Amino acid sequence: MAENKTELQPIPGLPHVKAPSAPQVKTRILTAESVAEIQKKMVQYPVRKSAVLPSLTVAYRQVGYLNAEIYAELSAITEIPAKQLAEAATFYTLFPKKPRGKYLIMVCDNISCALCGADNLLRYLEEKLGIKVGETTQDNLFTLQIAECLAGCSSAPMMQVNHDYHENLTRAKVDALIEGWRKDG
């Protein structure tokens, strides 16, 4: 839900947040759509700082990673100090801090997936893509990483690629997926 339908209750002792009067923010990296999405989200909260995670999320979804320049742009939009945005961003693993391949492959290797062959899935992907865990292919198409439990335990082994879950994986399934992504480029 973008905007609250009812008035936010003020909190005694804290400044009351009002909707920003559509400030004209100039951004180089973030698109007008991203800026608008963040502005919509930030007025949902009685305390502005709650917009930290939502704005980081919008930015990383658009750009694929976060860096100092992006924190600065987010800060201009949300009026949250850039260092507070960076402080939070560096705590959470969801936000890559440097560019990665077009397809970020995250393989869960926790216990439930490991019992169903996740470690050999990793080796299979390494072999297929010609990279090790943590690396990106030379054509910048694929980055391979290990993820901690993604709650796909009953459909193991599984992986998340960008925003999609792929579950109950087999070699044949992985082959078809990779082939499809290579074709799309």
Partner 1 sequence: MAEHKLLLKYTDDPKHKHVDGYVAHGGYTAWRKVLSSMTPDQVITEVKASGLRGRGGAGFPTGLKWSFVPKDSPKPRYLVCNADESEPGTCKDRVLLECDPHSVIEGMAIGAFAIGSHLAFNYIRGEFDFPIAVFEKAVEEAYAAGHLGKNIYGSGYDLDVVTQTGGGAYICGEETALLQSLAGNRGMSQMKPPFPAVEGLYGCPTIVNNVETLAVVPHLINNGGEWYTMFGTEKSKGTKLFSLSGHINRPGNYEVEMGTTLRYLIEELGGGIPDGRKIKAIIPGGASCPFMTPDQLDTPLDYESIAEAGSMLGSGACIVLDERTDIVWTTYKLIKFFKHESCGKCTPCREGTKWLTQLVERILNGEGEESDIDKIDNICHNILGRTICPLGDAAAMPVISAVQRFRQDFVDRIKAKNVLPMEQFPFN
Nearer to partner 1, 119 or 139 (CB): 119
Q: Interface residues with partner 1 (CB under 8 A)?
A: 1, 4-14, 44-47, 49-54, 56-57, 80, 84, 87-89, 91-95, 109-112, 114-121, 123-124, 147-157, 160, 163-165, 169-171
Query: Prior bond to 99 cis, omega within 30?
Result: no
Query: Mind spelling out the 3-state secondary structure of 121-164?
Result: HHHHHHHHHCCCCCCECCCCCEEEEEECCCCCHHHCCCEEECCE
Task: Find how far residue 178's CA is from the centre of its chain.
Answer: 21
For 104, the token pair is: 């970020």
Least distance to partner 1 from the beta carbon of 23, Å?
19
Interior CA angle at 110 toward 105 and 111, to 5°? 145
For 182, the token pair is: 């290579």
Least distance to partner 1 from the beta carbon of 72, Å?
17
Least distance to partner 1 from the beta carbon of 106, Å?
8
Least distance to partner 1 from the beta carbon of 184, Å?
19
Nearer to partner 1, 2 or 138 (CB): 2
